[in-house]
Each structure stands twice: as C-alpha cells, then as structure tokens.
C-alpha cells in the first residue's frame, strides 16, 4: 500500500551563542542561551507491504519545515557592538523502517445478524393469573 501523510510537528531547541574577544582573560567571553520553540508542517510518503501472519513492513520518508524563529532581543557584545536579532531556520528529514503486527487482521469471519431474523419479544399485557 502506497500512502502520503500531512501533519503538524512541534519541537524546542536549546540554542547558545558564545563570543570570545580573543584575550584569553577571565571575563573575555560571554554566552547567551535561549530555548526556542519551533512548529511546522510535516509532509511525507511511505510504502507498506504485508509479509504474512499479521506482520507488515513499512518504509517512510518525512520532511518537516519548522520555519524561522528569532533568537530574541539584540544584545551588546564585549566590544560594545550590538549583535543583531538572529533567526534560525530549522528543517528535518527522516527515514523510518517499521515492522508492524496487526492484531485484528480481518480474516476471521464475523457472523452478521439482521434485526429481521430476531423473533419478537413476548408481550406481558395479559393480566396475571
């Protein structure tokens, strides 16, 4: 079975920017860290093949575009220069191989019952004796 998928994904990343003024002296560098949340569209395609006895093998490719997110407000560095408000563009590509087992395979016969085959219930409208 060939299939496609469309979805939504959300992730967060800890991003750190470190600057060193090259002096090697204490206080000669600084680090700014932020946790940035990314969310985006997932697109993919896959192929599933039945291999018997309820097992199937599935191969799938997924691409996620999280878009660009800002690092935060501009910051002054050690030399007194302003670091711009950097943005990070995050994409993800993944390939998955899955072995699956299906518990209800649909091969078991299920007897269908029609309501017309059920006899009417007895009535108890007669007085008790």
Query: pLDDT digits over 63-120, tens only?
Result: 999 888 776 665 555 555 555 666 778 889 999 999 999 887 555 555 666 666 677 6
Contact 34, 72 (CB under 8 A): yes
Distance CA(77)–CA(18), nearest Å, equals: 10
Range of the domain at 69: 2-106
Q: Is 120 within a domain?
A: no
For residue 46, what are the contacts with CB-CB under 8 A and spacing of at least 6? 2, 3, 4, 5, 58, 59, 60, 61, 96
Provide the domain count of the chain. Answer: 1
Q: What pTM value is reported for the model?
A: 0.55
- Residue 59 to residues 4, 98, 122: CA-CA distances in angstroms? 12, 6, 58
Q: What percent of the chain has pLDDT over 70?
A: 57
Q: What is the pLDDT of residue 90?
A: 84
Q: Is 124 within a domain?
A: no
Q: What percent of the chain has pLDDT over 90?
A: 32
Residue 16 pLDDT exceeds 70: yes
């Amino acid at each position: 079975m060939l299939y496609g998928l469309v979805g939504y994904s959300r992730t967060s990343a800890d991003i750190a920017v470190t600057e060193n003024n090259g002096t090697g002296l204490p206080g000669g560098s600084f680090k700014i860290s932020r946790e940035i949340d990314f969310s985006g569209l997932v697109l993919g395609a896959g192929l599933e093949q039945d291999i018997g006895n309820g097992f199937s093998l599935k191969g799938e490719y997924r691409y996620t575009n999280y878009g660009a997110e800002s690092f935060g407000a501009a910051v002054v560095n050690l030399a007194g220069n302003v670091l711009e408000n950097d943005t990070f563009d995050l994409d993800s590509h993944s390939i998955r191989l899955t072995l699956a087992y299906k518990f209800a395979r649909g091969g078991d016969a299920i007897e269908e019952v029609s309501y017309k085959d059920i006899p009417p219930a007895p009535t108890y409208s007669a007085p008790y004796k």
